[in-house]
Amino acid sequence: MKRMRYLALVMVLVMLLSVGCSSSGGEAPGAEAPSEAGSEASTPAKTTLVYGVGVDATTMDPHFANNTPTGNVSFQVHENLTAFDDPKTMKPVGKLAKDWKISEDGLTWTFNLREGITFHDGAPFNAEAVKKNFDRILNPDLGAPRRSNFKMIDRLEVVDEYTVNIITNVPYAALPQLLTCYNASILSPKATEEYGDQYSAHAAGTGPFKLGEWIPGESMTLDRNDNYWGEKPSLEKLVFKIIPEDASRVMAVQTGEVDYISNVPPFEIENLKSSGDVTVEMHEGFRTIYLGMVINRPPFDNIKVRQALNYAIDRDAIINDFLEGSATYAIGPEATSIPGASSDLFKYTYDPEKAKALLAEAGYPDGFEIRFVSPHGRYIMDRQIAEAIQAQLSKVGIKANLQILDFSLLLNMLPTGKDAELMLMGKGSPASDPDFDLTNYFTTDGTNNWYFISDPKIDELTEKQRATMDLNERYEVLQELQEKVQEELPWASLHYERQIVALGKGVAGVTVWPYEYIDFSKAKFE
């Protein structure tokens, strides 16, 4: 009997050792220890999800973030006063705030906050914390890149421990929507005060995940917040793994190296579907892919040149040949699925002869040479689309010297306006309202005004729609504003991008929002 017990023990030890030595260099992403409570035939559920992304976050301080990949990571860690209820309805509802009311004059918004919530570093969430966050966002000395989006806020007043007033300079109907964007996230004031511009390495929000290990350019690991005030995630870890090449990301989800990818190239959809363990989903999106032109110097200071470039682009070819119908023709800067976006703007169609004629009228009968920059791995097939546009422009005499750059490097370059005259970029609508992006991209002091447009009428209409509380009247002003932007034409809007994601075996519970936020708080393996 003792010998049988001994042999049985040896066999168990051998099995455990074989499991422990099954991978080289430590555990593979997503590998978990066997459950002691499970039966011999059961397989322990995975609790680590690896998300393959094309680009890394640039910061973990959402007040200083200016791109969606960064906002997407930040949203897993930080939360806002408000959030949207559903990807289809996009109605603002309370998050850290339970509810709110607005004064009769439309200038004072009173937010009632949830109680008993703490930040990841143990600091209490309360009205004083909210005030300190907005004081930080609005402080001109700190230089938050999206500060201009919040300039309608005059100040915050603490009413009591869990009540705060946001007082605006003018009535602003879309404040609840604005407060959903990642730039309005609520950070631990203890952490921001202690670490200052080093907050990014010590990020502390109230969200379902908290910052673990960040290896820039390689991966970021988020750990479950076991003290989360809401429904705790099933996942113990969420890993963002940087894989810039489209083909490499596709292969990674096919082999199980990662569990989830986005920005799936359309031509890979059938390949992924045929692989058996991979599910492909397509979701509507708010993202506009565009060509931005620096319009404060030649050649794009001439409106006829900007018009010519718009006629020189074969958008249908890009949509059909590269995106295989997974995008829609863009007629303006705002995706038409966004409430308040115009679907009635002048539509530029492919007409190379008209482009040549306009260039001749502008004094460029033989065309010209420009610098053209594009990211790689940020948008669906961005490199391929940039190369196709380069070829299309050459047909009308525009020699576009294309440079493919790392996304973070590109973002640092654009504000100077000195290194390129033309850029392939994209923009979403994190607040699900045209105001956020129209203000950010096209007003004179807009943070992302990389085109150096300065038009008094655009600035005037922007302020007017902000101060218009009646929704129908506001939409009329927004229509006029978008028409004016289209008239000035700092962009060649290309297409509205749909979101294509691929899920590995067993992945469930992931929510894809139209402004490109992917919520993993309820993700699990089935």
**165 and 311 part of one domain:** no
Cα 126 to chain centroid distance, Å, stands at 27
Distance between CA 434 and CA 440 in Å, rounded? 10
Cα angle: 471, vertex 96, 164; to 5 degrees:
75
The whole domain housing 183 covers 79-202
End-to-end CA distance of the chain: 41
**328 and 476 part of one domain:** yes
Within-domain flag for 55: no
Q: Comparing 110 with 430, which gets the higher pLDDT?
A: 110
**For the chain, the helix, strand and coil percentages under 3-state DSSP, each to the nearest 5:** 35, 25, 45
* Residue from 356, 374, 373 nearest 365 by CA: 356
Reply yes or no on whether the pLDDT at 226 is more than 70: yes
Grade residue 42 by pLDDT with cuts at 50, 70 and 90: low
Q: Is 318 helix (H, G, I), strand (E, B) or coil?
A: helix
Task: Return all residues near 123 (Cβ < 8 A) that are at least 6 apart.
Answer: 129, 188, 189, 190, 191, 204
Within-domain flag for 67: no
Helix (H) or strand (E) run with residue 361 in it: helix 352-361
Express each pLDDT in 285-305 by its tens digit.
999 999 999 999 999 999 999
Within-domain flag for 32: no
Within-domain flag for 148: yes
Reply yes or no on whether the pLDDT at 7 is more than 60: no
Within-domain flag for 11: no
Cα angle: 467, vertex 336, 500; to 5 degrees:
125
Read off the pLDDT of each residue in 295-318 and give the average, rounded to a whole number: 98
Distance between CA 40 and CA 42 in Å, rounded? 6
CATH code at position 197: 3.90.76.10
Within-domain flag for 242: no
Q: What average pLDDT does the chain have? A: 91
Q: Are 120 and 109 within 8 A, CB to CB?
A: no
**441 and 329 part of one domain:** yes
**198 and 301 part of one domain:** no
Within-domain flag for 47: no
Domain end (from 202, 227, 243): 202
- How much is the pLDDT for 102? 96
Reply yes or no on whether the pLDDT at 21 is more than 60: no
pLDDT-wise least confident of 105-109, 390-394, 468-472, 476-480: 468-472
Express each pLDDT in 168-206 by its tens digit.
999 998 999 999 999 999 999 999 999 999 999 999 999
**348 and 449 part of one domain:** yes
Distance between CA 137 and CA 143 in Å, rounded? 8
Reply yes or no on whether the pLDDT at 391 is more than 60: yes
**179 and 301 part of one domain:** no
Question: What tokens appear for 144 in the block?
Answer: 């938050």
Number of domains in the chain: 2
Read off the pLDDT of each residue in 274-292 and give the average, rounded to a whole number: 93
**192 and 300 part of one domain:** no
Reply yes or no on whether the pLDDT at 1 is more than 50: no
Distance between CA 380 and CA 469 in Å, rounded? 37
**302 and 420 part of one domain:** yes
Distance between CA 173 and CA 89 in Å, rounded? 18
CATH code at position 452: 3.10.105.10
Domain end (from 202, 230, 262): 202
pTM of structure: 0.83
**172 and 291 part of one domain:** no
* Residue from 233, 27, 57, 263 nearest 253 by CA: 263
Read off the pLDDT of each residue in 427-455 and give the average, rounded to a whole number: 91
Read off the pLDDT of each residue in 318-322 and give the average, rounded to a whole number: 95
Distance between CA 192 and CA 285 in Å, rounded? 33
Domain end (from 169, 202, 235): 202
Within-domain flag for 450: yes
- How much is the pLDDT for 515? 87
HSE (side-chain half, CA atoms, 13 Å) at 200: 18
Distance between CA 338 and CA 432 in Å, rounded? 6
- How much is the pLDDT for 267? 92
Cα 105 to chain centroid distance, Å, stands at 34
Distance between CA 429 and CA 57 in Å, rounded? 18
Longest Cα pair distance anywhere in the chain, in angstroms?
100
Express each pLDDT in 331-360 by its tens digit.
999 999 898 999 999 999 999 999 999 999
